[in-house]
Copies of this chain bind each other. A is one copy, B any other.
Amino acid sequence: MYRKLIFFSLIVIIAFSFFSYFGFSDGNETPNISEESQMCIECHENYTPGIVEDWRNSRHSKITLNQAFGVDEISRRISIKELNGKNGDIIVACYECHSLNPDSHKDNFEHFGYKINSIVSPVDCSTCHIQEYDEYKDSKKAHALDILRKNKTYSTLVDATLQQPIYSHGKLTNHPASENKKNETCYHCHGTEVEVKGLKTIETEVGDIEVPNLTNYPNQGVGRINPDGSKGSCTSCHPRHSFSIEVARKPETCAQCHLEPDVPAYNVYIESKHGNIYKTKGKNWDYNSVPWKLGVDFTTPTCATCHNSLLVDSQDRVIQQRTHDFGTKLWKRIFGLVYSHNQPINGRTYEIMLENGTQIPTSLDRKEVATNFLISDDEAKARESEMKNLCKNCHSSQWADGYFEKFDKTVKEADDMVEETTKIMFDYWKKNKGADNPFDDYIEKMWVKQWLYYANSVRYASAMSGPDYAAFKNGWYEMNSNLLYIHKLMLNQK
């Protein structure tokens, strides 16, 4: 009898542990897998075991499409409304994703009798996640590569940052940056254009095989241009074959690109009270729950909480809808620019230009703003108000109002400080016959720091409450010192 008791207790405990570990409990332990995917796994289990295991840990490997549909709508992770002829009885494995839309995939190739795409693109993911794709496809993230390439101002900045100077006879002459340098730096986050240059032969343990010859690869930037022409890379935030929602909801994911000195979002967050609570109590939160329940699943926001997740309160009332076009929740653009301004009306920011054709939203003397390309003040106000209401789920109205008031003042003060610095530059440019390339002289590089690092830091510090980024760490202390330094450099200029 005792043995039986212990035996059953153990069974229950093991089951309990198992279900807790995998985060759901449908009891389906031998999932239906397509014949094609079964073939993939049989080989790749030997040659890329890490990929296979990663997928095994994913939700894709554990439930069929029909089971995914069986979930309550608010908790459902697929956004298509019907099967559209797909087989709902199989799980989502290798072939289900890597064989989609072969005609548009220039990276489709013959692989041991199957037609396979090297790269799974957002369009392929949209087969089940259509809403996410639709939101993402015209966002700033989707256009992140063109935002740099098609904008003369930014492409000049990229070039000046990455130029390879040669020193000879006391003089420096600049040579243009290589494509490799761009891929390793700016395009790493913004995305590369992956093209197919025919096939190439690679040696493998099973002999030589032919694969598409991909250029500018690997890359997983948010604005990657894929061989099927689509833009984006879902793996940026839902990495590799685990397709995790937990990863995307944790700030360390955003931190890969949004970090100091140019975009100190993560750094400020971690220094803030929100970050403090995340760091000290976040280990016990549930990052996989859909919808995400405020005060229950988590007790302080991560980036995803305010910027894109579907949120409910403890009584299951929806507080915020999910979006994958993050920009639509923002009203003011506070980074990457000389001066802050209203958000652009869409993600194609390379379209923004002043009357004289300069591709910047605010003229350097602040006399002109390209308002046609930006949301109206009313729209900005409405978005700000919506964000403030979100804050009020955990903060009093008084707190939230005071907070947003500080933010407005600080953004203005940072802009003003940049303007004074830019006035010095006007004098420098006058002396030096114009600013053909405003980013390549030493003094110009110091000026870029003034807005790209320091003013950004001060604005972010205010937005998310990280005081050192407003003070000593790339904040006002640096802005003031740098202003004096630039002034000195300008005066010493012959």
A residues at B contact (CB < 8 Å): 2, 4-6, 8-13, 16, 21, 45-54, 56-57, 118, 160-168, 170, 172, 178, 180-181, 183-186, 188-189, 202-204, 211-212, 214, 217-218, 220, 239-240, 242, 244, 246-247, 250, 252-253, 255-257, 259-262, 270-273, 275-277, 279-281, 283-284, 294-296, 299, 313-315, 392-399, 401-403, 406, 409-410, 413, 416-417, 420-421, 423-424, 427, 441-442, 445-446, 452-453, 458, 461-462, 465, 467-468, 470-473, 475-477, 480-481, 483-485, 487-488, 491
Contacts and interface: CB of A to CB of B under 8 A. Distances in A.
Contacts of A214: 398, 402
Given A184-B467, A299-B50, A409 B178 contact: yes
B420 A166 contact: yes
B53 A296 contact: yes
Nearest to A215: B402
B161 A476 contact: yes
30 contacts: A2-B8, A5-B8, A6-B8, A9-B9, A9-B12, A10-B12, A48-B393, A50-B294, A52-B295, A52-B314, A53-B296, A57-B295, A160-B480, A165-B417, A167-B420, A181-B413, A181-B476, A184-B467, A185-B475, A211-B397, A240-B394, A250-B279, A250-B280, A252-B275, A253-B276, A257-B468, A259-B271, A261-B473, A445-B484, A452-B472
A467 B239 contact: no
A445 B409 contact: no
Given A477-B445, A484-B442, A470 B185 contact: yes
A91 B409 CA distance: 41
Q: How many copies altogether?
A: 3
Contacts of A250: 279-280
B48 A172 contact: no
A252 B279 contact: yes
A118 B396 contact: yes
Given A162-B476, A445-B477, A314 B281 contact: no
Contacts of A402: 214, 217-218
A467 B263 CA distance: 13
A260 B462 CA distance: 18
- 6 nearest CB pairs, A to B: A53-B295, A50-B394, A188-B467, A185-B471, A442-B484, A252-B279
A442 B485 contact: yes
Given A461-B184, A480-B161, A50 B9 contact: no
A185 B471 CA distance: 5
A452 B473 CA distance: 12
B252 A280 contact: yes
B483 A246 contact: no
A203 B385 CA distance: 12
A461 B163 CA distance: 18
A201 to B, nearest CB: 11
A421 B394 CA distance: 49
SS of A interface (majority) = helix
A410 B177 CA distance: 12
Contacts of A260: 473
A172 to B, nearest CB: 6
B13 A6 contact: no
A48 B6 contact: no
Given A46-B315, A244-B281, 19 more contacts: A10-B16, A48-B394, A48-B395, A49-B315, A50-B394, A53-B299, A57-B295, A118-B398, A164-B413, A172-B484, A178-B409, A178-B413, A185-B471, A185-B476, A211-B396, A240-B277, A242-B281, A252-B275, A261-B473
A399 B218 contact: yes
B417 A281 contact: no
B314 A45 contact: yes
A165 to B, nearest CB: 6
A283 B271 CA distance: 20
Contacts of A170: 427, 491
Contacts of A295: 49-50, 52-54, 56-57
A257 B272 CA distance: 9
A57 B202 CA distance: 50
A261 B472 contact: yes
A147 to B, nearest CB: 15
A40 to B, nearest CB: 12
Contacts of A410: 180-181, 184
